[in-house]
Amino acid sequence: MEAILLAGGLGTRLHSVTGDKYPKCLAEVNNKSFLHYIIEDLLQQGVTRFIFAVSHHADMVRNAVSTHFPGIDCEFSYETEPLGTGGAIKQALQRVQSPHALVFNADSFMQVNIQAFVAFCQNKKADLGLVCTEVDDLSRFGAADIQHEKLVGFHEKGQSGSGYINAGIYYVNKHLSLIEQQPVKFSFEHNVLSADNAQAYVYAVKGLFFDIGTPDDLAGASELVRLNAELFVAN
């Protein structure tokens, strides 16, 4: 399996922590970078090749990968200017060797069986799939509207109660026309996932999910990793 990791986030809301000295994905969580946990998990689950979509402090991401994961099969897709999530994925897909690829946000972690997600998408003969996870409090997130295992759209943030949200994990056909017809810069969430003809299948699960969007989130991530140490392999 091949995985694209979107590791070019500026981390504007984390500036008080990072000081713009390193990218968001390299923010430290219990003595390891957040990206480290994601790579470890994906290696354990059978991902054999990585494409890192990088821009901000790209050299630091490259050095971190080569230092802590020497010998892994990987490439780097460089953005010379911000391309948006969609543009980053579109560019990185050019380096994918398989018919399909997995895509992961590098600033969130989701406990999910990747093999089962891929099997679900293959069983549906899907060109586009995403993982949605159930959360108890939707107020921080845009709720996913799911009908018959397909994504209908997203609601604005601020809803109350529980529901499903986008976990930032995707299964994408390398030659998905909906991506190929987009401009250089675009939002994957808005221009692709929310398109009327997206036909995105949803793998809905409930598991450990957290991100590092804000300093409070980063502190919470450290606590969740500590409390769920058995989920995170040592490397």
- CATH architecture of the domain 2-130+166-231 equals Alpha-Beta Complex (3.90)
Q: Tell how far CA 134 is from the center of its chain.
A: 16
User: Per-residue confidence of the chain (235 residues) as pLDDT tens digits?
Assistant: 999 999 987 666 666 666 667 788 998 999 899 999 999 999 999 999 999 999 988 999 999 999 999 999 999 999 999 999 999 999 999 999 999 999 999 999 999 999 999 999 999 999 999 999 999 988 888 899 999 999 999 987 778 889 999 999 999 999 999 999 999 999 999 999 999 889 999 999 999 999 888 888 888 888 888 888 777 755 4
DSSP label at residue 215: H
Among residues 203, 136, 137, 196, which one has the least CA distance to residue 167? 203
Return the domain boundaries, the chain.
Answer: 2-130+166-231
- pTM attached to this predicted model: 0.94
